[in-house]
Amino acid sequence: MPRELVAVAPRTPVLREYEEQPLKSNELRIKSIFSAPKHGTELRPYRADTKDQTSPFDGQKRIHIGEGGDPKFPIQLGNMAVGNVIEVGQEVASSQIGDKVFGHLPIRETHTVNQGRIKKVPKGMSSEAIVYSDPAGVALCAIQGSQICLGSSVIIFGLGAIGQMALQLARLQGARWIAVSDPIPVRRKVAKNHGADLVIDPTMDDVGFIVKDQTENAGVDVSIETSGSYAA
């Protein structure tokens, strides 16, 4: 029987067997060749730390208010998967057997899904690269929503995959000066290689003071938060 990765309790991953579901006429079956978790957001339910994420959202204030609940286990793990189509339903017209496809799917050996949930992997793009389309999309939305323009000064808090991509996209958008902040040394090193003008360790320095000092007290035009941490 095929297997899938699930958490049966907080911080308790298990590979368990599952039964293959019958294929419907508008579905296709995929054999996974590469899967990836979401190393930031997904770890919150994995740790049973989701009360602020699941709390009621105030649309007017655009913030979460109060506390939500913890996830109910078991939960599937994984965010995206790449695989080859091995079976198609009679009504499926978008894919054929042998196509390399990807989608927002958990970590499991096979997937039986509606054809609308997957897309073909662009020719020449590796499986490892295509799963970065998820954080890249989040970063792109942040850059477009922030209205960065030619000559803007920017600071980015959090240098995971989304933050690193936001840094590069901000430069392409025309940002003149970009500061970044993250407590993890290897992330700061990567950000420097990606062209950050100022790299700050928030556990050692006062981020606000340093930014003011480096900008002649002007501060920045745009602040982007990608850490998902209230402490940041």
Domains and CATH numbers, the chain: 3-123 (3.90.180.10), 133-225 (3.40.50.720)
* CA atoms lying within 13 Å on the CB side of residue 124: 0
Q: What pLDDT was estimated at residue 231?
A: 72
State phi, psi for 156 to the nearest 5 degrees: -120, 125
Q: Which residue has the tokens 């208010």?
A: 65
For 100, what's the count of Cα atoms within 13 Å in the CB-facing half-sphere? 13
| pLDDT tens figures, 12-43 | 999 999 999 999 999 999 999 999 998 878 88
pLDDT of residue 61: 83
- The partner residues of 155 in beta bridges, in order of sequence, read 179, 223
Its pTM stands at: 0.84
pLDDT confidence of residue 225: 96
Q: Which of 63-67, 93-97, 208-212, 217-221 has the lowest mean pLDDT?
A: 63-67
Q: Would you state the pLDDT for residue 232?
A: 66
Q: What percent of the chain has pLDDT over 90?
A: 84
Interatomic CA distance for residues 144 and 137, integer angstroms: 11
Bridge pairing between strands 177-181 and 110-114:
unpaired
**pLDDT at res. 40:** 78
Once rounded to an integer, what is the mean pLDDT over residues 189-209? 98
Residue 40 makes CB contacts below 8 A (sequence gap 6+) with 160, 161, 162, 228
